[in-house]
Chain A
Amino acid sequence: MEYFLQQLINGVALGSIYGLIAIGYTMVYGIIGMINFAHGDIFMVSTMISLVLLIALFSLGVTAVPIVLLVILLGAVFLTALYGWTVERMAYRPLRGSFRLAPLISAIGMSIVLQNYIQNAQGADKKAFTQLIPGGIEFFKEADFSVWLQYSQIALFTTTIVVLAVFTFIVTKTPLGRAQRACEQDIKMASLLGIDVDKTISLTFVMGASLAAVAGLMHLLYYGSTDFYAGFVVGIKAFTAAVLGGIGSLPGAVLGGITIGLIEVFFAGYVSVDYKDVAAFSILSIVLIFLPTGILGRPEVEKV
């Protein structure tokens, strides 16, 4: 029972990170129908930015944890958003109106570019991060197996929920969100009503990248290390989460992320650590056979 509870906590924590990244995939797919394969690497870039900022702050003598976290969060979000914007501007916008696979190939190229750039700039070795939020709450101390809820996990859950709430508000209630949804349904009509489609798409990438930055910082706080290749597997899992939750759906992305996180952690905990990824992807395949549009996805309506 205690063991189960511990796995549950770990699974939700891991899933929250996947969920935050998955929102970026889902929003971009929703608006231009493209899988942004460089998104995982944007996430990786954000972990590097957080690391660099941390070292910079520490060497400047700033060590108060709340201030450090806030500065890193704001700095990482801003700089990562800039990366997201630049990638869209350079690699995807010129290909808009080209055939469907062109931006996809460009995205894969962008992913390789970002990986190699970080590998060259920061080196290939794994980089460790000081534990900024140590400790946690211990439950069931008398039992054989005590359950730990780490403070970093609490921070992770809270952040995910707050960010999801803010983004849901933006998408459902603000003019920008309305424009995004309009572009999602009929991009040409949206532009005929005076919506600057290019700007709306850029902002979508900026939003996705900001979330990846939040996820990047959380990932770093939780696992304490990163390298130039960190974005690949996490990115694929987050993409899987977006598909599982129903691509195009914001709550679906988070739900999908948590589902993937739980599957992975439980499989690792009860069956085999080596095959946890196999389990996650197998379950994805099975779910998609029975629910082709994902958990919260709307069935695609054929345009007549």
Chain B
Amino acid sequence: MARQETILRVEHLSMKFGGLVAVDDLSFEAKKGDITAIIGPNGAGKTTVFNCITGFYKPTEGRIALVHGDDSILTRIDNVTATGKQWVRTRQGALFLLERLQDFKVSELARVARTFQNIRLFGGMTLLENLLIAQHNKLMRASGYTFGGLLGLGGYGKAERAAIDKARYWLDKTGLLDRADDAAASLPYGAQRRLEIARAMCSDPVLLCLDEPAAGLNAREGEELNELLLSIRKEHDVSILLIEHDMGVVMQISDRIVVLDYGRKIADGSPAAVRSDPKVIAAYLGVEEEETDEVAKELSA
């Protein structure tokens, strides 16, 4: 198998809230085209990692680099860091230091999209509008910052039709096309989760961060979600970062798993390797750190 390129490199990431260390010196990489899962017991700091990646929080320490195109650009990372730039673009690709970007630029420039554990749709707007919002910058540019759109000038009509087509494609893919003009808040829970993923995909991401997409779904909906995620990865040029509690989902679809406990990384590898890692088992069983060796011994015995 060919060497996989890196899309996201997190280095020595720490996030402190007052005295509380939510994420402690975390480093990991996500490969292009992979589904990388971040798992761990409640309060392990998974969502905090997401919040740092998507610009929701400014990390206390550490570097989060996102690559577009050829990852050989990562060799310039120290150079970029030292010059204080937020990002750099070359002919081969681009490198973004996400911890330096303003939150809306993480989406607009670096093209990272995310969904939330507690769904955050625009409930009062229709499904279609929710998906058009995700294409806002493209439409703003096409409309000449509203004035052209107001007068029906330029390529705005065309851009708007393309945006609607894209929205309809994703509505169709998530099985929501017949409810395009309903308010998002009127959807059942499982459908709202799918709509959030559709909205994230409408912003043309290179990295899609999903925070517990299977939470609250029943078995059948969980299956549908797996299929949706696998088809997104197959048909679109996007890498997925996934936080999930449902081990069925995680083991079935991830290529690589990073395990956190108390903000620190305790394991990193393929699903099979992680599943049999004694430290992971200990973390999930709630054993003290000193006893993990004993538990490992017992387990392997």
Interface range on chain B: under 10, 10 to 19, 20 to 34, or 35 or more?
Answer: 20 to 34
A193 CB contact (under 8 Å) in B136, B143, B145: B136
A158-207: which have CB < 8 Å to B? 166, 169-170, 174-176, 178-179, 181-182, 185-186, 188-197, 203
**B133→A193 contact, CB < 8 A:** yes
Q: How far is the CA of A178 from the CA of B122 in the complex (A)?
A: 11
**B122→A186 contact, CB < 8 A:** yes
B140 CB contact (under 8 Å) in A176, A185, A191: A176
**B103→A191 contact, CB < 8 A:** yes
Chain A window 95-135, contacts with chain B (Cβ cutoff 8 Å), 1 for yes, 0 for no: 00000000000000000000000000000000000000000
**A192→B146 contact, CB < 8 A:** no
**B107→A170 contact, CB < 8 A:** no
- Is B54's CB within 8 Å of the partner chain A? yes
Query: Contacts A185-B122, A193-B203 hold; do A178 and B104 have CB atoms under 8 A apart?
Result: no
* Number of A-B residue pairs at CB separation under 8 A: 86
Q: How far is the CA of A286 from the CA of B133 in the complex (A)?
A: 39
Q: How far is the CA of A169 from the CA of B114 in the complex (A)?
A: 30
**A175→B149 contact, CB < 8 A:** yes
B31-65: which have CB < 8 Å to A? 54-56
CB distance from A84 to the nearest CB of B (A): 16
Please choose the segment from B80-88, B123-131, B254-262 that sits at the chain A interface, where 4 or more of its residues have CB less than 8 A away. B123-131
**A191→B120 contact, CB < 8 A:** no
B146-169: which have CB < 8 Å to A? 146, 149-150
A248-304: which have CB < 8 Å to B? 298
**B104→A175 contact, CB < 8 A:** no
How many residues of chain A get a CB closer than 8 Å to chain B's CBs? 24
Contacts of A174 in B (CB 8 A): 143, 146, 149-150
**A185→B146 contact, CB < 8 A:** no
Q: How far is the CA of A203 from the CA of B92 in the complex (A)?
A: 37
Contacts of A185 in B (CB 8 A): 122-125
Contacts of A190 in B (CB 8 A): 133
Q: How far is the CA of A194 from the CA of B106 in the complex (A)?
A: 7
Q: Summarize A's interface: helix, strand, loop or mixed.
A: helix
A176 CB contact (under 8 Å) in B104, B106, B132, B145: B145
Query: Contacts A170-B150, A191-B104, A193-B199 hold; do A179 and B124 have CB atoms under 8 A apart?
Result: no
Q: How far is the CA of A182 from the CA of B125 in the complex (A)?
A: 8
**B133→A179 contact, CB < 8 A:** yes
Q: How far is the CA of A185 from the CA of B129 in the complex (A)?
A: 13
Query: Contacts A170-B150, A195-B104 hold; do A175 and B122 have CB atoms under 8 A apart?
Result: no
**B134→A193 contact, CB < 8 A:** yes
**B104→A194 contact, CB < 8 A:** yes
CB distance from A188 to the nearest CB of B (A): 7
Q: How far is the CA of A174 from the CA of B203 in the complex (A)?
A: 18
- Which 4 A-B residue pairings sit nearest by Cβ, starting from the closest? A194-B107, A194-B108, A175-B139, A191-B104
**Knowing that A189-B120, A192-B56 are A-B contacts, what are 16 other residue pairs whose CB atoms are under 8 Å apart, sorted by A's residue number?**
A169-B150, A175-B132, A175-B139, A175-B146, A176-B143, A178-B125, A181-B124, A185-B122, A192-B55, A192-B107, A192-B113, A193-B104, A194-B105, A194-B134, A195-B133, A195-B137
Q: Which residues of B contact A (CB under 8 A)?
A: 54-56, 102-108, 113-114, 116, 120, 122-125, 129, 132-134, 136-137, 139-140, 143, 145-146, 149-150, 199, 203
The contact sample of 17 A-B pairs, CB cut-off 8 A, is A169-B150, A174-B143, A174-B149, A175-B136, A175-B140, A176-B143, A185-B124, A188-B103, A191-B103, A192-B55, A192-B56, A192-B106, A192-B114, A193-B203, A194-B108, A194-B137, A195-B133
